[in-house]
Amino acid sequence: MLRDDDEIAELLSNARTIAMVGASDRPDRASYGVMKFLQDRGYRVLPVNPTITGEHVHGEYVWRELSQIGEPIDIVDIFRNSEAAGEAVDQAIAVGAKAVWMQLGVINPEAAGRAEAAGLKVVMNRCPKIEIARLGIPAVRQASAS
């Protein structure tokens, strides 16, 4: 479990692609604002939400589940309740994500343990938007397509 500021900063600085499980198309939801913030910071954020699959949020196609994305995922950001986080963690492990990030209030030690046992980095009960601002992490640069 990453708790050290330097480890969290390294994870956020090296990530480029974030899959957001529980992304919402509703502006009053926290995930909506966090997704936009992360995009504005240079991350590619891929929304995952079975109830709005096929729609678009902040210009990105909404996927039903992580396995459909078909490209490498650096961080799976989980905006689900603590109980439902376990399924998202299992999907993250299955698709070979590098890390899982459970949002503020999302606490599932058993799922975190499974992720760590599978070699994923884990952050729990934190928000990347808050951590980026708190740690002063600069915007990321996407690799240019050549």
pTM to 2 decimal places: 0.95
Q: Which of 136, 137, 110, 112 is nearest to 124 (CA)?
A: 112
Whether the per-residue pLDDT at 146 is higher than 70: the answer is no
Q: pLDDT (tens digit, 9 = 90+) per residue, 32-79?
A: 999 999 999 999 999 999 999 999 999 999 999 999 999 999 999 999
Is 82 inside a domain boundary? yes
How many residues are there in the chain? 146
| Residue entry with tokens 């961080």 | 75
| Measured distance CA(30)–CA(42) in Å, rounded | 19
Residue 111 belongs to what domain range? 5-135
Is 141 inside a domain boundary? no
Percent pLDDT > 70 in the chain is 97
Is 146 inside a domain boundary? no
Please give the tally of structural domains in the chain.
1
Q: What is the pLDDT of residue 143?
A: 60
Is 61 inside a domain boundary? yes
* CATH number of the domain enclosing 48: 3.40.50.720
Q: Is the dihedral of CA 6, 114, 23, 30 positive or negative?
A: negative
Q: What is the pLDDT of residue 12?
A: 98
